[in-house]
Chains A and B, each alone.
Chain A
Amino acid sequence: MAQQEYEKYYVPDSSPWPIVGAVALFLIAVGAGNFVIEQTKGTSGYGGYILIAGFATLIFMLFGWFRNQIHESMTGLYSAQLGRSYRQGMAWFIFSEVMFFGAFFGALFYARMIAIPWLGGSGNNGATNEVLWPTFQAMWPLIETPGGTKTEAMGWYGLPLINTVILLISSVTCHFAHVALEENKRGRLKLMLGITVLLGAIFMSLQVEEYIHAYQEMGLTLQSGVYGNTFFLLTGFHGLHVTLGAIILFIMLLRIFKGHFTPDDHFAFQAGSWYWHFVDVVWVMLFFFVYIL
């Protein structure tokens, strides 16, 4: 092991940002909790305001924290070892996100492969079907629930297919941007990253379109049984992640215009691009398991 690898590890001095972040999460949790209660009961209260205050605090915190960090990084306080810490930390964070989506995919598979067939009387569950909902037929997509709610299934052609193509292309452009950064071709980098962010934005607007279509024309809503539930929660959380990823990449673009990042030191960019690829992979899984199959 090269001795140089163990040059002094940068341990930051005390910092106010983490506690600001903790307060932000506190406000978000309290606000969101009360907001949900107030919304569903139709009562009035401060939930929404607390929630907004929480997000504002969070953004303030991220701004301050990252400004510190960028400053430290640009003044050369960071070592290769610290860079590895950040990269590994990001990789494990993405793994945790994979598991989060895993919970919802698990729900999808369970409902589809186990719960619904059982309700339809398969295996030794004849009595379940007979006693609870004798007319219920097992099917997927579940366009008529045992309780009788009817809906339509979302096809995979049209918007979802276009969206798949868009995200796949954006993954490629994001990769090209990375290559351009490593080859120090700043013009190409700006172009490719700009295209990536733009494609992300188009994806999101088409997704919104699809939701409106689902709600207004197909009667596919959050309330229309486990098909709609898995559909909206999976695509919804994915959409949130796309939005977040696009915002991150947009900020990277701004930083690149300010001249940040060098061919061999660009952790923030790399983290953003990993995140983007991850979001793409999730989409491909979604496209297969939610839309096509």
Chain B
Amino acid sequence: MSTVTETLHHDDDHHEHHAPPAGIKRWLYTTNHKDIGTLYLWFAFIMFLTGGAMAMVIRAELFQPGLQIVEPHFFNQMTTVHGLIMVFGAVMPAFTGLANWLVPMMIGAPDMALPRMNNWSFWILPFAFLILLSSLFMEGGGPAFGWTFYAPLSTTYSGDSTALFVFSVHIMGISSIMGAINVIVTIFNMRAPGMTWMKMPLFVWTWLITAFLLIAVMPVLAGAVTMVLTDKFFGTSFFDAAGGGDPVMFQHIFWFFGHPEVYIMILPAFGIISQIVPTFARKRLFGYASMVYATASIALLSFIVWAHHMFTTGMPVFAEMFFMLATMLISVPTGVKVFNWVATMWRGSLSFEVPMLFALAFIVLFTIGGLSGLMLAITPVDFQYHDTYFVVAHFHYVLVTGAIFSIMAAVYYWLPKWTGKMFDITLAKWHFWCSLVSVNVLFFPMHFVGLAGMPRRIPDYALQFADFNKWISLGGFAFGLSQLIFLALLIKACRKKGEPVSDQVWEGAEGLEWEIPSPAPYHTFETPPVIK
């Protein structure tokens, strides 16, 4: 593997860099990829708790049939904003935060390629979500049309706050595009000598491809919200058949963004798992090259499957067939990945530290989500499942036990490198086991109520679903509470409590980031290492 030949402890040999300014200015003005990574990660975590609080409202209402706690209109706002926050405020910024922290350290770069723009991309986000959240308090309420904002719900039937929703999505998009440009340019242009493409850690590879997807589809989302804005406020009829438009066209444009978007939320997770599993199996990753090609083909295929979200809209049969087959094709490279992780563990000397626990949970539970996805991909079957809780179960398995678990695995894996101290392992284990059990109580029964026909996004339901929903809600509350353990652990870690760790931290860890000191110095690789 790669080795660093140049001296790594050059904390003291830089002249024009001063120590970071103290206080709030450090965070407002920073150009340091590690600071910005930390900002992204904390922001994502706060958004995760905020969106989680909304999920608690949803589950409280659904605890029993009938309407008891919130108005249906408010319930719709909760499902909508919960989705938007989790997608754009929690998962995506968390991955960007990880990219900020890790990509430069993994490829031996002094920082991100465009450090000031990096700071700009971060600071747009809190403002964007301030707008989105405060629109909940407007007259007529916040957005209530689902995170997918289908026309005409978002045009004819929405409130004034739609205008603020549109512009907040616009600036979120600007932030993501700038963030993605930064990642892609860093990887293209900042690799240390000898860090050839096929030596790059998989986290870097998956982020490179994710960044490409982001730059390709975030502008399409911007186009979609713009058309919603003009349809609602300026009398255009893109999504109105009376003027020659078509509400189904909205769905095509949205999902052309939306499906690659779901891969944006899972490809970095694949990268993380591909870093963690070899470490704790003490073996090289099985099939490195096939992992790279699988990632690339998933990304390319993700552009031609979008209409699997629209099987029930009345597309021509040929289109239904095409999108069904293309979707099922994506399972092949996805399967390659799962196979490779398992093959990496095969006959490895496994140990089960906390990051590995999360990674293993990821592999099993993400696969469940992938399999339910495969069921949904079958057109005639989807006619039955579409818009039921089965879909909700599917995407929460891939997103919560997939994307979110991978983020937690990543935090536990690299946190000691960031702080220089081992986190509180007891708390971490509590966090893992509580989350693992509760998340399955929360999402697994959704498959059953979904198959039995319970529709999603409705504040009330038929009596026969009552028992399952009670369990789902209890699981939900337990999962929510479990995250407070994580909060406690993180606060403790940031206050630098705990045992100091070695540079390598984990016995089997390989890669540039494990060769620099722990905690990682403020500036690393100011002169690039030479990789053999």
Contact = CB atoms under 8 A, between A and B. Distances in A.
Nearest to B217: A99
A119 B310 CA distance: 19
A8 interface: yes
A65 B120 CA distance: 11
A103 B127 contact: no
Contacts of B282: none
Nearest to A84: B189
A13 B16 contact: yes
A15 B249 contact: no
Contacts of B234: 40, 222-223
Among A88, A89, A110, A223, the most chain B Cβ lie within 10 Å of the Cβ of A89
Interface in A151-191: none
Contact of B31 (A1, A15, A106, A107): A15
* Interface residues of B, dominant DSSP: helix
Interface size class for chain B?
A: 35 or more
* Interface residues of A, dominant DSSP: helix
A84 B187 CA distance: 12
A227 interface: yes
Given A18-B123, A36-B229, A225-B243, A103 B224 contact: yes
Interface in B176-190: 177, 180-182, 184-185, 188-190
A135 interface: no
Interface residues of A, number: 74
B124 A22 contact: yes
B279 to A, nearest CB: 29
Interface stretch (A142-150, A194-202, A269-277): A142-150
A134 B198 CA distance: 61
B123 A110 contact: no
Contact of A225 (B184, B227, B237): B237
Given A33-B131, A36-B229, A84-B189, A99 B216 contact: yes
A33 B167 contact: yes
A177 to B, nearest CB: 26
B246 A25 contact: no
Interface stretch (B17-25, B71-79, B337-345): B17-25
A14 B31 contact: yes
A145 B242 contact: yes
21 contacts: A14-B21, A14-B26, A16-B28, A16-B29, A19-B120, A26-B130, A29-B164, A30-B164, A37-B163, A40-B234, A81-B190, A88-B185, A88-B188, A89-B185, A96-B181, A100-B222, A111-B238, A114-B246, A115-B246, A225-B243, A225-B244
Q: Across chains A and B, which 5 residue pairs bring their CB atoms closest together, nearest first?
A: A103-B223, A147-B242, A22-B123, A18-B120, A26-B127
